[in-house]
Chains A and B, each alone.
Chain A
Amino acid sequence: MNAKVQSSRGPGQWALAIFCTLALLFLIAPILVVIPLSFNAEPYFTFTAGMLTLDPDAYSLRWYEQVLLSDEWRRAAFNSLVIGLSATALATTLGTLAAVGLSSPAMPWRRAITALLISPMIVPIIIAAAGMFFFYSSVNLTQTYTGLILSHAALGAPFVVITVTAAMAGFNRELLQAAASLGAGPLRGFFKVQLPLISPGVISGALFAFAASLDEVVVVLFMGGIEQRTIPRQMWSGIREEISPAILSAATFLIVIAVLLLVTIELLRARSAKRSTGTGGSARAVH
């Protein structure tokens, strides 16, 4: 039946398919083009004649070497990891608790509190960064790891709140009553029954929060000192100051990380979708 519809539309359908291919090309090609260029033997941002004829001498690993051996980039990777992981831990713990509270049918002022908790995701980053710069400098937290971890945790928490709230919607509350009737206290019920069932939501929230921190540059620009330079901060000065294909090799690393994160999230989503249909929860609206 489907094929019939398609053939009946003919040229229109073809035009749409071609348009969408171009649109997807527009989305994907700019990201993919970076990867071969990062192996450029020359310090250029474009394909050399040698690269186009697939001459092996036109390709090299020199930019990877430069990035992997440079103290600055290593320090940046270390900083990104420390800040990202600490901020994620903080955001995930606080965010999961809050989402469990927000999902309780007894929760008062739900709308207002939800709006407050997801506000860091909504406010333009430049405004958040400006405010954080003013405020954190008045309490001497600029140019410190603590300051950056706190601000990245604030920016990451909304992702956890949203994903865990969504996971809670598919959670059958009667299971908690069942656990209680079998003698489990509220804490035991939470850790043994509820948390395992909402864990896909918690993990995707944590991944979102980590990705947000890993990609964050504006707050770092405003608040971080030389000591706290992260990978995006390092790329920022790379783009602004001395353009070299070394940034392209760093970019390739980040693309690989993005693909890994995306695949993990999609797997989690597929798993939790299966799980919530298994428990009969239909509350997970697609939109």
Chain B
Amino acid sequence: MAAGKASVSRPRTRVNALMLTLPLVAFIAVTFVAPLISMMARGVYDPTVADIMPETIAALQSWDRQGLPPEEVYAAAARELTLAREERTIGRLATRLNRQAAGTRSVITRTGRALNRGAEPPWSESLPEIHEAWGEPEVWETLLLTGDRFTADYYLNAVDLQRTVDGDIVRQPETRRVYVDLFIRTIGVSLSVTLLCLAIGYPLAGFIAHAPPRRARLLLTLVLLPFWTSLLVRTTSWIVLLQQQGVINDILVWAGLVPDTERLTLVYNMTGTLVAMTHVLLPFMVLPLYSVMSGIPGVQMQAAASLGATWPRAFLRVYLPQSMPGVGAGCLLVFILAIGYYITPALVGGQSGQLISNLIAYHIQTSLNWGLGAALGTILFAAVVLLFVFYDRVLGLDRMKLGA
């Protein structure tokens, strides 16, 4: 579309325009895109085992997986575990292996301690004496499985699958299937919040759009105020309002609707997450709806009425179709923002109100399973990008404006 114009303009002005954007492009590439790429890489690249036990992994390649590996493999393992204990990398190794096969942690740490106290070859006899697991093929298979620097394990884990020694991909044991449910819950919560915002936002936006200009301006400012108020302030407010000794429960008790002994649990659960998220995201629904609705002439509804249409009929046939672009933009925007929501569920969600973002934070900050955190993050990222591409195709990203 700009091709005709661009070919007319001299190449120098093209270069000039490009040069102006270059500093920010470079800045965003380094401070933002590189971090995203490094996160995606974490999900597929894990050199822990390959770095700590290179010779063991190399020696294991010739193992036929019938029975136990030969003495040279045992010797390499004993040597490298001793070294890992000295260099204090053995904890990381144990954690990585334990993620692949539960129970491996104690095998590694106990062996490390025993080797440190001193043990004698032949290692194929002394290692199984230290821990009987060395006498079974499973622990060697675990080492072989995790020995690659590049791994699909984290992504598989993020969708509740795992890889067996034979290379088959199977579902995780029932107790470890968490993430698919969590993704489904996140989508469910995002859809509920989107519908709540639409139910409240549609009439509100219509009311503002067809109010006299001065009043519309004032009402719009009231919608924008929460938009500008710190998210943490708004979240705090909801805790203040919703907690058991909070304002809403106090009012309910005072009004005699709820006995003092049975105050409602409104926060630190899913209710808290839904209410607070709806509050935070409502302006994102109202603003696009308002900008579309204020372009619909109010006289059209009168015209429909004068032609004999009842109000519901006029609304469905005349008003609603014209407001659909706003509905689409608002719903998509709210859904996209909701699906990646972190702060509100973390503070008011309690146990039951946690979403996928909270698990990503948990794996990065608490469980230190960075690979899994990165894999979950990449999946969420891909979902958001897809939704935005869809948004761009249907509504045009360049039409996105800030505020009213």
Q: Which residues of A contact B (CB under 8 A)?
A: 2, 5, 8-9, 12, 16-17, 19-20, 23-24, 26-28, 30-31, 33-34, 37, 44-47, 90, 94-95, 97-98, 100-102, 104-108, 110-111, 113-120, 122-128, 130-136, 138, 150-151, 153-154, 157, 159, 161-163, 166, 204, 208, 211, 214-215, 217-218, 221-222, 232, 235-236, 239-240, 243, 247-248, 251, 254-255, 258-259, 261-262, 265-266, 269, 285-287
Contacts and interface: CB of A to CB of B under 8 A. Distances in A.
A218 B343 CA distance: 7
Nearest to B233: A251
Interface stretch (B13-21, B86-94, B143-151): B13-21
Contacts of B13: 104, 106
A243 B9 CA distance: 62
A9 to B, nearest CB: 7
Interface string B342-382: 11000100000000010011001100001001100100110
A20 B282 CA distance: 13
A127 B226 contact: no
Contacts, number: 308
A232 B302 CA distance: 50
Contacts of A45: 239-240, 243, 245-246
Contacts of A107: 2, 14, 17-18, 21
Given A34-B240, A128-B35, A135-B35, A101 B245 contact: no
Contacts of A159: 402
Interface in B278-316: 279, 282-283, 288, 291-292, 294-295, 298, 302, 305, 311
Given A27-B282, A127-B340, A218-B343, A94 B230 contact: no
A30 B234 contact: yes
Interface stretch (B55-63, B129-137, B154-162, B200-208): B200-208
Interface string B74-93: 00000000000000000000
A124 B384 contact: yes
Interface in B16-45: 16-21, 23-25, 27-29, 31-39, 42
Interface string B206-242: 1110001000000101111110111111111111110
Given A117-B28, A134-B370, A254 B17 contact: no
- Residues of A contacting B: mostly: helix
A127 B39 contact: yes
B399 interface: yes
A265 B224 CA distance: 11
Contacts of B225: 27-28, 31, 258-259, 262
B279 A157 contact: no
A132 B35 contact: yes
A27 B377 contact: no
A127 B36 contact: yes
A217 B20 CA distance: 31
Contacts of B342: 124-126, 218
Contact of B2 (A110, A236, A269, A285): A110
B365 to A, nearest CB: 7
A133 B305 CA distance: 59
Contacts of B245: 44-46
Nearest to B301: A5
A266 B35 contact: no
A196 B60 CA distance: 71
Contact of B247 (A33, A115, A161): A33
Contact of B237 (A125, A131, A154, A251): A251
A45 B336 CA distance: 33
B311 A108 contact: no
B403 interface: yes
Contacts of A31: 225-226, 229, 233-234, 237
B255 interface: no
A232 B229 CA distance: 12
Contacts of B279: 26-27, 30
B298 A5 contact: yes
A226 to B, nearest CB: 15
B33 to A, nearest CB: 7
Contacts of B240: 30, 33-34, 37, 45-46, 248
Contacts of A17: 207
Contact of A123 (B36, B219, B239): B36
B401 interface: yes
A161 B21 CA distance: 10
Contact of A23 (B9, B204, B365, B384): B204
Contact of B374 (A47, A97, A134): A134
A269 B21 contact: no
Given A94-B27, A222-B364, A33 B237 contact: yes
B39 A134 contact: yes
A258 B229 contact: yes
Given A23-B203, A113-B25, A287 B401 contact: yes
B23 A94 contact: yes
Contact of A154 (B31, B219, B231, B250): B31
13 contacts: A5-B302, A45-B240, A102-B21, A106-B13, A115-B397, A116-B33, A122-B336, A124-B340, A126-B377, A133-B35, A222-B364, A239-B239, A262-B228
B291 A287 contact: yes
Closest 5 CB pairs of A and B: A124-B340, A101-B20, A287-B291, A131-B35, A135-B35
Given A97-B21, A134-B42, A135-B34, 5 more contacts: A27-B282, A94-B24, A128-B36, A218-B361, A259-B225
Contacts of B229: 31, 254-255, 258
Contacts of A215: 230-232
